[in-house]
Amino acid sequence: MSYRITPGLPLDAEIRRIAEEQIDKATVELSAPEPGEDPHEAIHDVRKRFKKLRALVLLAKSGDPGFARTENARYRDASRALSGVRDRTALIEALDALAEHVPAGLSQSATAPAIATLRADLEEKRQTALAGEGDLGATIAATLTTLADSRDAAGMLAFHRPVKDAAKVLATGFAATHGRARAALKRALRSGAVEDLHELRKHVKYLSYHLALLAPLWPETFEPLRRTAADIGDDLGRDHDYAVLREELAPEAERHALVLALMDRRQAELQAAALLSARRLLSDKPDAVAARIKRLFRIAAEDTPAEEAEALRQAAQ
């Protein structure tokens, strides 16, 4: 099966299946990484699993609000506990990406030394973070315990609402995320503040996962929308990396003046592209979005032949 909700199947069973699949994959990634793999890459993959899990429970929140609140907090806290060294790595990746967007009018001989000098500084700080992160094995063991507890909780999920309310549950969750993203977009357009852009990124990223989960409703339309939402999230994520790096470089701004100027230019590009796409993606009001999701889910459920639904139901057991 996959990270998609199948119309025609009981919604709580689909949420259980998807949650268990993501938890099982995260467990394997942490406990049995590929030979020679940097454990921090596995940690990065697991943090992405936690984002997918948070998006899943937020989408279906009205089916069981208590479960959604508890598990969302559990996934959030577990992800934060894994964030340390990965955040340092993200700054290095952002700098490497900056080197790929040097304006044509600037020569590599002018920019490469400045970028290389800063990269060496960032790598040194990353190594310091590695040395000071404590017992990584204990952190991984604690996360594996959290994953096991989460799997137990997911396995007991059962909605009290009738199955026929599945369309309403999903429409409510999707519209809530869409509404939060619209509000964040409004604030970001007005202020341009780092925290407002980061908030927009968070909600649009959840929206991209919602669109992946609901892709069977209308694949030809939802997949391009998912890619758009994911691109907005990626652009704003990179912009946030530069904002964090800018704050770190502030005490030595003169030394890193060229890199800071390159960051200014790249951030302007990223923000312009992301905000324009976000205005398009979020142009509809939440009530209209909810009504559309509800109708599309019911159409998709009706279009699933009974024998196919039964086969899917058996495969999900």
Tokens of 206: 């959840």
Q: Find how far residue 240's CA is from the centre of its chain.
A: 14
CA distances from 161 to 10, 18, 98, 302 (A): 11, 19, 50, 19
- pLDDT class of 108 with cuts at 50, 70, 90: confident
Segment 272-281 shows an average pLDDT of 98
Closest CA to 140 of 30, 305, 266: 30
Q: How far apart are CA 264 and CA 256, in angstroms?
A: 12
- pLDDT class of 162 with cuts at 50, 70, 90: low
- Evaluate if residue 313 carries a pLDDT over 80: no
Q: Find how far residue 219's CA is from the centre of its chain.
A: 20
Give the pLDDT score at 86: 80
**168 with 298: CB under 8 angstroms?**
no
- Range of the structural domain that residue 294 is part of: 11-316
Residue 284 is classified by DSSP as S
Buried-state track 74-91, b at ≥16 Cβ within 10 A, e below 16: bbeebbeebebbbebbbb
Tell me, what CATH number does 52's domain have?
1.40.20
Instruction: Indicate the pTM of the whole model.
Output: 0.92
- With H, G, I as helix, E, B as strand and everything else as coil, classify residue 135: coil
Give the pLDDT score at 52: 98
Cβ neighbours, 10 Å, residue 29: 20
Q: How far apart are CA 309 and CA 6, in angstroms?
A: 9
Residue 34 is classified by DSSP as P
Burial class (CB in 10 A: 0-12, 13-18, 19+), 153: middle
Give the pLDDT score at 41: 85
**Helix, strand, coil percent content, the chain, rounded in steps of 5:** 85, 0, 15
Is 15 among the domain residues? yes
- pLDDT class of 39 with cuts at 50, 70, 90: confident
Name which of 100-114, 262-276, 287-301 the model is least confident about. Answer: 100-114
Give the pLDDT score at 163: 52
Encode pLDDT of 238-252 as tens digits: 999 999 999 999 999
- With H, G, I as helix, E, B as strand and everything else as coil, classify residue 75: helix
Is 4 among the domain residues? no
Q: How many domains does the chain have?
A: 1
Is 235 among the domain residues? yes
**176 with 201: CB under 8 angstroms?**
no
CA distances from 288 to 28, 99, 293 (A): 41, 43, 9
Is 312 among the domain residues? yes
Is 188 among the domain residues? yes
Is 3 among the domain residues? no
Q: How far apart are CA 164 and CA 6, in angstroms?
A: 14
Q: Mean pLDDT score of the chain, rounded to an integer?
A: 91
Give the pLDDT score at 69: 97
Is 5 among the domain residues? no
Radius of gyration from C-alpha coordinates of the chain: 22
Is 6 among the domain residues? no
Cβ neighbours, 10 Å, residue 39: 15
Q: How far apart are CA 97 and CA 91, in angstroms?
A: 10
Give the pLDDT score at 160: 75
- What are the φ/ψ torsions at residue 37 (nearest 5 degrees)? -75, 140
